[in-house]
Structure 1
Amino acid sequence: MPLSFPVPRTLQILCIGILISALAGPVIAYELTTDTGTIANGDPVTLRGIATGHPREGLQVWVIGKNYLDISTIPVNNDNSFEFELKPSETLNLASGQYFVVVQHPMMNGEFDIYYDAASGKVINRQMGADGNTIYTMSGAGSLQGPASANALVSAISSQNVDDTFTTYTFFISPPSALIYPIGDHAVGDRFTISGSTNLAAGDQLMVEITSSSFQPTRKTADGGFSGSAGTATVVPGQGGNNRWSFDVDASEFKPDEYIVTVKGITVDVTGSTVFMIREQSPAPLITQEITPFATTVIATTIPVPLTTTPAKSPVPAGLAILGLAVAVMRKVRR
């Protein structure tokens, strides 16, 4: 069942995130090393914050999960700061699931009015009765588990006859994962980025290896034909419960082949893998340019046509005209 923590009467949430300040009296405020609330086995859980009032008993930290209980007292430094950490060795073997953290401040009387009795496995309210009053069983037979136990603890600290205050946090433990987003095919010479998601903590390192699937060990005198890449990727904060990582690839020296990408944790045991193809670089396309012929300007010219004059025909045949002329001459001579 989901856990809904009530806000204590002395506390008020001021903003999104987990910054809490008191209306009166000492203050507990803290920040977290993870923004996602999802922790991989083998990663630490660290809470840092401020608790004013210099409680001589320090702060009491309750970590509650299914079949898991850890109660410890941590000091408050002179500058009012405090820090609590579940080390990697402690989270490594935690079962997957939700965990609840309650940070308890003793407030004015300097005592934890709600405390855990290890001998009986019960949670006691010391303000009720001479020897205190049992609130519920936290461990052992008949004990409350997980969210039911955390809700009961918060209700006990919120009791009207208890001046303690608290703040809360939840996180999830899950097996380490490193996922690789689909890469798609690329060509020789491409530059691209391989990326993915992980539940490892921001700042963790991943080893990324890219190898040709046809690569095989050869004698040192032979050309093994290896092409690929390797390096590290740093996990950065993400959203939706997972962080992100990315790795840049320059395929200028790659040979056409199928390639295997392997992602491995350096400090946490986790592995992910996938494949993609590098193909021959496509030849540069021929650039065709349409050539437009020069425009020809035709200049219209008018060439005068010589006129041919045809003499008018005489109505008298030429022969008769000559004969008439000869007769006229002869008559003139005779005279």
Structure 2
Amino acid sequence: MKFEMKSSTAGVMAVRVGAALVLAVLIAVPVMAEISFESSCPQTIAEGDAFTIHGTGATNGSVTLLVFGRHYFHTFTANPDNRGDFSVTVGPEETRNFSAGQYAFVIQDPGENGQYEIGTRISTSGNITVTDRGTAVVDFGTATDLKPWIDPEIEILMAASGRAGVDDVFRVEYFFVELPSLHFDQERDPVTGRLILNGSDPRRMVFSGTTNMAPENVLTARIRDAASGKEIFTDTIPAITPADGMGPGKHSSWNTWHYSLDPVRLPSGEYIITVGWDKETWCGSNTALFVVPDAGAATGQQISAPTLFSLMNSGLFARL
């Protein structure tokens, strides 16, 4: 399940258009009581992940979602049920068209009269125009003119909602779109570049990290021989754990993943591990070196936990 965030209409509108206007709107017309969002991570959408908005209390007819972002503009429509509940999903086939940057998701309710006064249209040349009852108010240019920071366009749109005779109700939420990304928690040896794997269980080599990809994505661990590059085997990582926002570091709001490898599956040597998704080949994965130690500890070197377990399995200790 994706990260879900809930917020009230009044709170967001107060931030975006001023408390006085919010009070007037809330008194004049019934509006959506609550909106919640399902996204890859808190306030973050990874390209190629679905994004869903759920709403309640939409009793004025259909609801329109306008999405503004870097080089992107699109509208979606939802028809609430008889209780006023609705949902809009922007699917992976659409979010793959997103570019990194800030995106504004504008939810438009037609207001008490059930009619949209404020609209948008796209000309044959691609120009995006905001209209008031069919009359052009402002031209944003084409989608390619929209920048990574979309605040100026949203401020203009919100100003249009305050025009005389307009009772449409707007609600704005901002999310950041990122390329799918994945990181290892383990540090790398500054000399060899290998991951430093720590753990008390001699039967497991544990890899872990963070990702901005949603929990419903499937990650794969691929193990290759470092010398030849030949793939030895692949494993599916059981699950991505949703973020709780409580962890340390700059990726504390990201989801987490864990992969446990039994070292007896590999002879001693150096290997490459690649963890990532299969939707893309150029992003959403990370690669690192690691080593399954040999029996050199018999000469007095420190025996690592994986090596000790391998020696015990080999029967060497029984012959000593």
Per-residue deviation, 1:144: 7.1
| Counterpart selection for 1:272 from 286, 304, 310 | 286
Distance of 1:246 and 1:172 partners within structure 2: 25
TM-score, normalised to structure 1's length? Answer: 0.65
Matched, 1:135 2:137: yes
4+ runs deviating over 6 angstroms? 226-229
What's 2:239 paired with? Answer: 234
Q: Which stretch has the larger CA shift, 228-237 or 189-198?
A: 228-237
C-alpha spacing 1:70/1:50, structure 2 compared with 1 (3 Å): same
What residue identity is the alignment partner of 2:260? D
CA-to-aligned-CA distance 1:237-285 (integer Å, 9 cap, x gap): 22455322111233245433222211130345433110122224657x9
SS of the equivalent of 1:33 reads strand
What's 1:199 paired with? Answer: 212
Distance of 2:22 and 2:262 partners within structure 1: 54
| Counterpart selection for 2:17 from 6, 10, 15 | 6
What's 1:38 paired with? Answer: 44
Contact 1:207 1:265 in 2 (8 A): yes
TM-score, normalised to structure 2's length? Answer: 0.68
What's 2:79 paired with? Answer: 75
What residue identity is the alignment partner of 2:286? G
SS of the equivalent of 1:208 reads strand
Q: Which has the higher helix share?
A: 2
What's 2:158 paired with? Answer: 154
What residue identity is the alignment partner of 2:288? T
What's 1:246 paired with? Answer: 258
Structure 1 unmatched runs, 5+: 13-20, 218-225, 286-335
Distance of 1:167 and 1:86 partners within structure 2: 17
C-alpha spacing 1:102/1:256, structure 2 compared with 1 (3 Å): same
| Counterpart selection for 1:113 from 117, 141, 153 | 117
Contact 2:107 2:171 in 1 (8 A): yes
C-alpha spacing 1:60/1:274, structure 2 compared with 1 (3 Å): same
Matched, 1:104 2:108: yes
C-alpha spacing 1:194/1:22, structure 2 compared with 1 (3 Å): farther
State the percentage of identical aligned residues.
23
C-alpha spacing 1:144/1:114, structure 2 compared with 1 (3 Å): farther
Distance of 1:227 and 1:9 partners within structure 2: 64
Contact 1:189 1:254 in 2 (8 A): no
Per-residue deviation, 1:103: 0.2
Matched, 1:125 2:138: no
What's 2:11 paired with? Answer: none
Per-residue deviation, 1:198: 1.7
Distance of 2:167 and 2:292 partners within structure 1: 67
Structure 2 unmatched runs, 5+: 1-14, 187-194, 246-250, 301-320
C-alpha spacing 1:251/1:73, structure 2 compared with 1 (3 Å): same
Per-residue deviation, 1:71: 2.1
SS of the equivalent of 2:160 reads helix
C-alpha spacing 1:202/1:27, structure 2 compared with 1 (3 Å): same
C-alpha spacing 1:7/1:103, structure 2 compared with 1 (3 Å): farther
C-alpha spacing 1:254/1:199, structure 2 compared with 1 (3 Å): same
What residue identity is the alignment partner of 2:30? G
CA-to-aligned-CA distance 1:306-334 (integer Å, 9 cap, x gap): xxxxxxxxxxxxxxxxxxxxxxxxxxxxx
Distance of 1:90 and 1:111 partners within structure 2: 28
What's 1:299 paired with? Answer: none
Matched, 1:184 2:189: no
Contact 1:99 1:173 in 2 (8 A): yes
Per-residue deviation, 1:78: 2.2
What residue identity is the alignment partner of 2:290? F
Matched, 1:60 2:74: no
- 1:159-178 superposed matches below 5 A: 159=163, 161-178=165-182
SS of the equivalent of 2:17 reads coil
What's 2:306 paired with? Answer: none
Kindly name which structure, 1 or 2, has the bigger radius of gyration based on alpha carbons: 1
What's 2:312 paired with? Answer: none
